[in-house]
Structure 1
């Protein structure tokens, strides 16, 4: 508690919208890093880029119930506010916004958000309402904060793709993509990794490396991408006893399935035990 009080004296911790308005009223070059807390080195990288590109940086910590299509998943999402504040203090973040659910969703007049049928691929196909929830909350944050730039991680590339298209069409805010941060065993950093045991972490490292090798094979022989991907899906399921929701190649322009020319990514979502993980390569 004493340490938290010290943090409050040195860093602007904001919980109410009225206080947010007072704090950032005159900020014109504000960087915004939206998070759900349980911060790691990936979040730190986003914050450092924001600090380089913007005059001030605001980080939000808000576990958004609207983007969870599973109540148990929302309940079990890792939370550690005291540790998060220590990290943000060390990084010298200017503003930290920690609103309640009522604070964010009290405006009932905002139009209901939907995404196009053509965009309902990958996670949007398997997590009904997830991205509608993401766009809803980020739209509300942008209206409140009016940041110059939002910083998002490449690990959630589909999220970046949809947020950029939605936010930049409606607001003056730009959406900036930041490279995926990986650990020494090449695992993409994620708050959900904290829900895994040591055995699962070892398996995740092996799975990740096999997928990185698969991407290289597909890159060299795009005409065989479907066969290579299907074969890998069968192999990974048997080797690691995992449930794969999707393993697909999509171009990075419109997330279409045509990867014959131009940049593309290999997207995956799977369950390791009860934990749902995503990545792209």
Structure 2
């Protein structure tokens, strides 16, 4: 309790919308980093980029229930507010917003957000309502905060892609992408990593390195002609079977997508390799 009081004296901790309005109504160069807590080095990188570009930075911690298609996933999502606040204090964040569910969803009159059929790919295909929930909550945050820029990580590339398009169509706000921060073993940092044991973490690192090698192989085969495109698909299927058998994981998807459009048209185009898989019943995503 005493430590929490010290934190409050050094950064603005905001719980009420009225206090939020008072704190930021004059800020016209505000960077916004939306999080669900469980902060790690990836979040720290986002915050540091915001602090470098914008005059002030606001970080939100809100585990949004509407983006979870699995109730158990929502209940077990890593939460450690005391630890998160220590990290934010060390980073000298200007504002930390901790809203309740009732505050965020008090206004139920906002237009319902739906994805187009072409957008229901990758995570959107299996996590029904997930990105609709993400876009809806960010829409609500933007209306409350009116930031100049929003900072998001490329580890959740599909999320960044959808948010960037939605925000650019509705607001004069830039969504700034930040590179994926990885552990020494190569795995992408994620709040869910805390749910993995030491063996799982080692396995995730090995999987990440296998996927990176696959990406290099695909770069060599991609683009020249249709024969190479077929070879790339076969290579992905072969790699998928290998990963499943070698590491005893369940793969939800493993596929290449156009970097600019997220379509499957990757011929002569920059692309990313996307994966979602379950390791010890923990769902992990990554892209290369």
How far apart, CA to CA, are the structure 1 residues paired with 2:167 and 2:117? 18
How far apart, CA to CA, are the structure 2 residues paired with 1:17 and 1:239? 51
Aligned to 1:198: 198
Shift in Å, 1:9 = 1.0
**Could you report, residue by residue, the CA deviation over 1:22-64 in whole angstroms, capped at 9, with x for unpaired residues?**
0000000000000000100000000000001000000000000
The question of 1:228 aligning with 2:224 is answered: no
Q: 2:247 aligns with which of 240, 243, 247?
A: 240
Paired residues of 1:29 and 1:147 also in contact (CA < 8 A): yes
How far apart, CA to CA, are the structure 1 residues paired with 2:87 and 2:282? 25
Shift in Å, 1:225 = 1.6
Aligned to 1:65: 65
The question of 1:44 aligning with 2:51 is answered: no
Counterparts of residues 92-171 of structure 1 (less than 5 Å)? 92-171=92-171
Q: Give the match's secondary structure for 1:279.
A: strand
Aligned to 1:186: 186
Q: Give the match's secondary structure for 1:27.
A: coil
How far apart, CA to CA, are the structure 2 residues paired with 1:4 and 1:168? 37
Unaligned runs of 5+ in 1: none
Q: Give the match's secondary structure for 2:255.
A: strand
How far apart, CA to CA, are the structure 2 residues paired with 1:117 and 1:165? 15
Aligned to 2:265: 258
How far apart, CA to CA, are the structure 2 residues paired with 1:239 and 1:187? 17
- TM-score normalised to the size of structure 2? 0.97
User: For this pair of structures, how many residues does the alignment match?
Assistant: 281
Counterparts of residues 28-43 of structure 1 (less than 5 Å)? 28-43=28-43
Q: Give the match's secondary structure for 1:254.
A: coil
Runs (4+) of structure 1 exceeding 4 A deviation are: none
Q: Give the match's secondary structure for 2:128.
A: coil
Q: CA RMSD in A?
A: 0.5
Q: Give the match's secondary structure for 1:217.
A: helix
How far apart, CA to CA, are the structure 1 residues paired with 2:233 and 2:145? 43
Shift in Å, 1:263 = 1.1
Q: Give the match's secondary structure for 1:110.
A: coil
Shift in Å, 1:97 = 0.2
How far apart, CA to CA, are the structure 2 residues paired with 1:116 and 1:30? 31
Counterparts of residues 20-31 of structure 1 (less than 5 Å)? 20-31=20-31
**Could you report, residue by residue, the CA deviation over 1:225-245 in whole angstroms, capped at 9, with x for unpaired residues?**
211100000000001110000
Q: Give the match's secondary structure for 1:151.
A: strand
**Could you report, residue by residue, the CA deviation over 1:142-169 in whole angstroms, capped at 9, with x for unpaired residues?**
0000000000001000000000000111
How far apart, CA to CA, are the structure 1 residues paired with 2:215 and 2:221? 10
Paired residues of 1:225 and 1:249 also in contact (CA < 8 A): no
Shift in Å, 1:262 = 2.1
**Could you report, residue by residue, the CA deviation over 1:194-241 in whole angstroms, capped at 9, with x for unpaired residues?**
000011111111111100000000010022221110000000000111
Q: Give the match's secondary structure for 2:182.
A: coil
Shift in Å, 1:105 = 0.4
Q: Give the match's secondary structure for 1:28.
A: coil
